[in-house]
Amino acid sequence: MPEKAFAIFTMLAILSILIIVHECGHFLVARFFGFQTPVFGFGLPFGPYVAIGKRWSTEFRIYALVLGGFVAIPELGDESNVSEEVFGLKLNPFKKFPIWQRMLVAFAGVGFNIIFAYIVMLVMLYSVGKPIQATAVLDLPPGNPIARQAGIHVKDELVSIDSTKVNSPEDVVNYLGSRKNTPVVVHVNRGGQAIDLPMTTNDEGRVGMQLGGADKVKYEKVEGNPVQMAGTAYSELSSKTWAMVQAMGQLFSNVIPKPHPKGTPAKPAPGFQDFHGVLAVIKIGADIAQQDWRQLFMFTILISMDLAIVNLIPWPALDGGHLAFMTIEAIRRKPMEEHFQGEIVKWGFLSLLVLMVVVMFNDVTALVSGKLDMKPPGAEKKVEPAAPGTEPAAAPTEQSVLEKSEAEKASNKAEANPKKAGETSATSKGVPVIPIVTP
């Protein structure tokens, strides 16, 4: 029990740091250009609060609903709707700032989250190494016996094919898919023993393997000078971020249910039910901390990038909404009509609150049902085979985003198919895609 409490405290500390980093980005850049910053708040900007001090003409507050953070920058928004009563503090006369300065202030929170994620990536590579999750064989479907007849076993870890190293299920899909009816040699690791297995792909570039991530995440030491290490950190962060963007795109695309082909069983796909928030982050992060503290490096990186990506969505009350209004202003060479912009901001903020309620409901439901429970390495896992002709729910990357979603639990395997890389699934030990909503 003390270990669990400490793990939860650790996650709360990590989330608090990430939120402070984001808001410090806005605050520091705004102060640099001379914007007023009357309030720096921890939590949502309404309800009771406690003032913890005042410095640099800024009052620092902690609000009752600690689900995010904000910096009040009245000169960044619509001046006609800002008054001293809004903040309860004396404001100086407003200045008019160039649009490029306002855009930099709006983007600064996202920028600081990206920089912070990059720094943590560097620290991880220097201290514990690069996390590697081997590509493993989860099943050998009877419909295609090539791999089975060649000697492939379930739980074999794929090391390389011919002389090409395997880093993810996608590598297998792409390599075999480009070599139809071609002899290949699959090099596997079976219980620490290296085995070479020759086989020939069929006319579709398949050999009959369902692939995913191995249970245990290993760490590989990264060698190189500081410049090379910096490049490796950039490459790793870029690949993880792109995988997160793809996974979030899949979530948003499945918000509207799509018709399912007749004759095939419906399979859960990632969608609105997989939007999670602070409670899910704390639960999953605490489980990860108890299993392997080293995974908190990647978890922190992904949460920081998650904050950056979500806040760039062009939605009112998010940083992307401010940037969208400023972009329209730059194109039109004048601001949007005050009343029209005010209505957009009002309904956008209300919809964001509704989304936060939905996210909280998803979190509570998932916690009660146990869908967010993380199995320790080596635990038995049940994976249902995907229906023929359907795509699996998860993107095929080793630790791409906060992984292990509800759809993965229901069905997360697919046979390696050269036509669509997404049809090779990755069941790995991670957490669900969690778009964190912070105003």
Torsion of CA 16, 21, 26, 30, to 10 degrees: 120
User: What separation in angstroms does the CA of 289 have from each of 244, 368, 378?
Assistant: 21, 21, 17
Amino acid at 3: E
Cβ density class 180-206: b for 16+ within 10 Å, e for less: eeeebebbbeeeeeeeebebebeebbb
Instruction: Give the Cβ contact number of residue 333 at 10 Å.
Output: 7
Give CA 347 to chain center in angstroms.
26
Rounded distance, CA 383 to CA 394, Å?
13
| Residue 347 backbone dihedrals phi, psi, to 5 degrees | -70, -30
Positions in the chain short of pLDDT 50: 78-81, 263-267, 377-439
Instruction: Find the DSSP H helices in 163-225.
Output: 169-177
Exposed (0-12), middle (13-18) or buried (19+): which is 429, by Cβ within 10 Å? buried
- Give the strand pairing for 164-165 and 49-55: unpaired
Residue 340, token pair as written in the block? 């029209």
Rounded distance, CA 424 to CA 418, Å?
9
- pTM of the predicted structure, to 2 decimals: 0.69
Three-state DSSP class for residue 356: helix
Query: Of how many residues is the chain composed?
Result: 439
- Give the strand pairing for 218-220 and 130-132: antiparallel
The per-residue pLDDT for 295 is: 83
The per-residue pLDDT for 254 is: 60
The per-residue pLDDT for 196 is: 93
CB 204 within 8 A of CB 113: no
CB 408 within 8 A of CB 379: no
CATH 2.30.42.10 fits 135-213, yes or no: yes
Under DSSP, the state recorded for 30 is: H
Rounded distance, CA 354 to CA 234, Å?
36
Percentages helix, strand, coil for the chain (3-state, rounded to 5) are 45, 15, 40
Please, which residues have CB within 8 angstroms of residue 429's CB and are 6 or more apart in sequence?
A: 133, 213, 215, 216, 217, 374, 375, 377, 403, 404
The per-residue pLDDT for 183 is: 93
Q: Where are the chain's structural domains? A: 135-213
CB 360 within 8 A of CB 279: yes
